[in-house]
């Protein structure tokens, strides 16, 4: 896949990183809605545009193998690493998984290693408390429980539901960095993580109605 043409103003305040894999347009639309003209939002693969932005978002959909390959192919890995070090950063879905050390997918895929931990497969025989087999991927609305008092969760009720689509889940090693969890059958997955200026969520906030929009709005005002 190739990056799309940049969308939005020449030097946006908020950049959704375009490396050819991600839910770019719906995320852009949701961010523009919550920004309400107070911040400009763009989609870009241009390293300088990304580095000049006040804050950045790393999306991701599909296979982590393909996502990591495209990050390397577009030459954006060093840019992403720099952003992880110095500005408010939000990873979404596979963009979250890419921040971990590695994924079990395809026998093992090295990731960016910003957070300590692995990305695990739900398995082929996942069941609920009654023994009923659950579908993989985990797709649809699930309750998320915040574990930390964090600005990203401001004015979002505990136990709010968010929209998920994934076959692999994050298992963080540094448990104090887990911002929220979600139960799917026998698996308690790390639904969100944060440390310093970086946050990441497994669900799709841009598809999660009012709660997701509120989280994105909180990200735009977050001052880590």
206 is catalytic: yes
Active-site residue identified among 114, 138, 166, 204 = 204
166 is catalytic: no
Active-site residue identified among 93, 114, 138, 217 = 93
Residues 6 or more apart in contact with residue 161 via CB below 8 angstroms: 141, 142, 143, 144, 208, 211
Please give the pLDDT value at position 6. 66
Please give the pLDDT value at position 22. 79
Active-site residue identified among 70, 105, 160, 206 = 206
pLDDT digits (tens, 9 = 90+) for 159-182: 999 999 999 999 999 999 999 999
Residues 6 or more apart in contact with residue 200 via CB below 8 angstroms: 90, 91, 92, 95, 96, 99, 115, 192, 193, 194
CA dihedral angle for residue 208, residue 187, residue 60, residue 197, rounded to 10 degrees = 80
Q: Are 182 and 164 in contact (CB under 8 A)?
A: yes
- What does each of the 224 residues of the chain score in pLDDT, given as a tens digit? 334 446 667 789 999 999 998 779 999 999 999 999 999 999 999 999 999 999 999 999 999 999 999 999 999 999 999 999 999 999 999 999 999 999 999 999 999 999 999 999 999 889 988 889 999 999 999 999 999 999 999 999 999 999 999 999 999 999 999 999 999 999 999 999 999 999 999 999 999 999 999 999 999 999 99
93 is catalytic: yes
CA distance 120 to 146: 21
What does DSSP assign to residue 176?
Answer: G
Please give the pLDDT value at position 1. 37
């Amino acid at each position: 896949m190739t990056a799309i043409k940049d969308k939005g103003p020449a030097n946006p305040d908020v950049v959704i990183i375009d490396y050819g894999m991600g839910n770019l347009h719906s995320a852009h639309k949701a961010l523009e809605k919550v920004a309400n003209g107070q911040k400009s939002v763009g989609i870009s693969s241009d390293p300088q545009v990304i580095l000049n932005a006040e804050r950045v978002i790393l999306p991701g959909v599909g296979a982590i193998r393909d996502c990591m390959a495209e990050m390397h192919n577009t030459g954006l890995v060093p840019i992403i690493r720099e952003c992880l070090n110095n500005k408010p950063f939000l990873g979404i879905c596979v963009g979250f998984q890419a921040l971990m050390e590695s994924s079990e997918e395809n026998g093992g895929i090295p990731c960016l290693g910003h957070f300590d931990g692995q990305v695990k497969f739900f398995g082929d025989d996942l069941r609920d408390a009654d023994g009923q087999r659950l579908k993989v991927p985990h797709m649809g609305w699930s309750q998320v429980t915040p574990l930390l008092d964090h600005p990203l969760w401001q004015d979002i009720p505990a136990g709010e539901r968010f929209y998920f689509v994934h076959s692999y889940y994050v298992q963080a090693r540094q448990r104090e960095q887990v911002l929220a969890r979600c139960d799917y059958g026998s698996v308690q997955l790390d639904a969100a993580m944060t440390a310093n200026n970086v946050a990441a969520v497994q669900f799709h906030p841009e598809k999660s109605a009012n709660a997701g929009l509120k989280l994105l709005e909180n990200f735009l005002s977050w001052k880590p």
